[in-house]
Amino acid sequence: MTLEQDAALRTLVLAWYSHRSGADLAAEAVTIRRTEVLRPGRPGLLDLVAEIDGRLAHLVVGLRSVGDEPHFLRSGDELALGLLEDDDGLAFCTDALHDAYLAPLLLATLRGVEPRPGRISIVRDDEDGMVLDCGDRGDLTVFPWLADRTDPAVDLMVALERVGFNHVAAPLMRWQWDQHDLGLVQEPIAGRSSGWAVALTSLRDLYASGGSPEAAGGDFGSEAQALGTMLARMHLAIDRAFGRHPEPVAEWVEMAEAELRESEPSLLAAPDVTELLAQLRVADTKLPAIRTHGDFQLERTSRTDQGWVVSDFRPGGVLPSMFEPVPRSPLADVADLLWSLHQASTAAAAERDPSGRLGLAKLGQAWESRNRRAMLSGYLGTPGIAGLTGPHRDLVGHLVGLFELARSVRPA
């Protein structure tokens, strides 16, 4: 690579970084670590990895003929990066993942198939990843920042597929470079609706009609039970894939108590919390700790024509703000999911009655109670799950309460 080419590539990286962060960097802050021509010619695709302040940035550059008028996936996302001279002459460069023609071309190139037209939409675009829904061609995820090891989310997804867990969009292609996960392609999921959206539909029906949750047009009870069953099956699959090790319940109590003390110390003085902690401290037992999903909420699930699936593996078994997977009780994932039922209930109430004058709290509590019971019934009724949770239902209930309390003080 000549000095001129290096300077041009760094200019593209700087433009990409400025679009993403709104901040400007000096050219000296960027070091090009990798370049690969994914597709030569015009239109073409160039994959770049660059080091920026000790972090590895990853971007896919679209190469267009000068004078081409690109079309972007979202209005306002005119992500032009600059000009680049290569063996095919001068190219006008865009962020390929936002380019309406080059994004599906990237997916086809990675899969080694001929590109074909079809709808495409941005599902997610943040520091964790760019996710594109390409319809029946599959889902494309590209990671903008790379860690110094394989991505735990992808590791988890691949392992679950290997042990036969089919409640997930199967990975069709894992895109890697030197033990870094650059992205992946997953099989398409037809007719999916976010778990959060399904819950909100149920709540809107209930708040509009009143009465009991089971009598509302969008009763969520059977869905909650099926969702609990799916979660239990995921934990059993994770156990097969990664194994388990016993941990004292007392350690989980200490960790949760420390989290409460740091974030919301007033909760520790509440009589019900004091009683809960006292009951768990005397539980002189060890229970299995496994790799969990981590921060498992309704938004990370989807209802499909074939049932419930895990549709978002971020953070992929990693607790928020951490990268390495942390083994914990599978009941912590259960608590995350139960906590998100409450979040849905309050969000739907605020949407319908911002002033709070309609008094929807009782309806919301009834909805939560019904669906908490259904979800726990589905989870705890799954054959084999008692080997992970322990056989004592009272202890299970206390631990779920503890983990849910700890989740309530973390950022939503």
Give me the mean pLDDT over the 136-151 stretch: 91
In a domain, 353, yes or no: yes
Residues 238 and 110 in one domain: no
In a domain, 43, yes or no: yes
Taking CA atoms, 70 is separated from 64, 86, 102, 116, 375, in Å, by 8, 19, 9, 18, 48
Residues 222 and 87 in one domain: no
Residues in the chain: 412
Asked whether the predicted pLDDT for residue 175 surpasses 90, the reply is: yes
Report the distance separating Cα 395 and Cα 236, nearest Å.
Answer: 20
Asked whether the predicted pLDDT for residue 36 surpasses 80, the reply is: yes
Q: Which residue among 86, 114, 142 closes a domain?
A: 114
Q: What is the DSSP string of 177-236?
A: ETTEEEEEEE---TT-EEHHHHHHHHHHHHHHH-S-GGGSTT--HHHHHHHHHHHHHHHH
Banded pLDDT at 318 (limits 50, 70, 90): very low
Q: Which residue among 80, 114, 148 closes a domain?
A: 114
pLDDT digits (tens, 9 = 90+) for 11-24: 999 999 999 999 99
Residues 197 and 341 in one domain: yes
Please tell me the predicted confidence (pLDDT) of residue 313. 67
Residues 289 and 394 in one domain: yes
pLDDT digits (tens, 9 = 90+) for 76-93: 887 899 999 999 999 999
Please tell me the predicted confidence (pLDDT) of residue 246. 96
**Confidence (pTM):** 0.91
Residues 97 and 205 in one domain: no
Residues 329 and 226 in one domain: yes
Instruction: Kindly report the CATH number assigned to the domain that includes residue 265.
Output: 3.90.1200.10
Taking CA atoms, 231 is separated from 298, 301, 335, in Å, by 11, 10, 11
Q: Which two three-digit tokens encode residue 306? A: 């074939």
Residues 283 and 378 in one domain: yes
Which residue from 391, 389, 392 is spatially nearest to 403, judged by alpha carbons?
389
Which residue from 4, 190, 165 is spatially nearest to 86, judged by alpha carbons?
4
Which residue from 362, 412, 365, 401 is spatially nearest to 267, judged by alpha carbons?
401
Asked whether the predicted pLDDT for residue 323 surpasses 90, the reply is: no
In a domain, 170, yes or no: no
Asked whether the predicted pLDDT for residue 7 surpasses 50, the reply is: yes
Asked whether the predicted pLDDT for residue 315 surpasses 60, the reply is: no
In a domain, 347, yes or no: yes
For all residues of the chain together, what is the average pLDDT? 93
CA–CA–CA angle 238, 302, 403 (5° rounding):
55
Please tell me the predicted confidence (pLDDT) of residue 320. 46
Residues 66 and 209 in one domain: no
Query: Looking at the 3D structure of the chain, how many domains does it have?
Result: 2
Q: Which residue among 87, 114, 141 closes a domain?
A: 114
Asked whether the predicted pLDDT for residue 119 surpasses 90, the reply is: no
Please tell me the predicted confidence (pLDDT) of residue 283. 86
Give me the mean pLDDT over the 311-318 stretch: 60
Report the distance separating Cα 145 and Cα 15, nearest Å.
Answer: 16
Report the distance separating Cα 138 and Cα 318, nearest Å.
Answer: 25
In a domain, 216, yes or no: yes
* Residue type (1 letter), 1: M
Please tell me the predicted confidence (pLDDT) of residue 137. 92
Banded pLDDT at 65 (limits 50, 70, 90): very high
Residues 235 and 329 in one domain: yes
Q: List 59's β-bridge partners, or say none.
A: 48
In a domain, 340, yes or no: yes
Give me the mean pLDDT over the 33-57 stretch: 97
Please tell me the predicted confidence (pLDDT) of residue 296. 92
pLDDT digits (tens, 9 = 90+) for 186-227: 998 888 899 999 999 999 999 999 999 998 888 999 999 999
Instruction: Provide the residue range defining the domain that includes 59.
Output: 3-114
pLDDT digits (tens, 9 = 90+) for 382-401: 999 999 999 999 999 999 99
Residues 329 and 222 in one domain: yes
In a domain, 93, yes or no: yes
Which residue from 230, 386, 391, 212 is spatially nearest to 303, judged by alpha carbons?
230
Residues 197 and 110 in one domain: no
In a domain, 218, yes or no: yes
Q: Where are the alpha helices (DSSP H) in 266-316?
A: 271-281
Residues 284 and 393 in one domain: yes
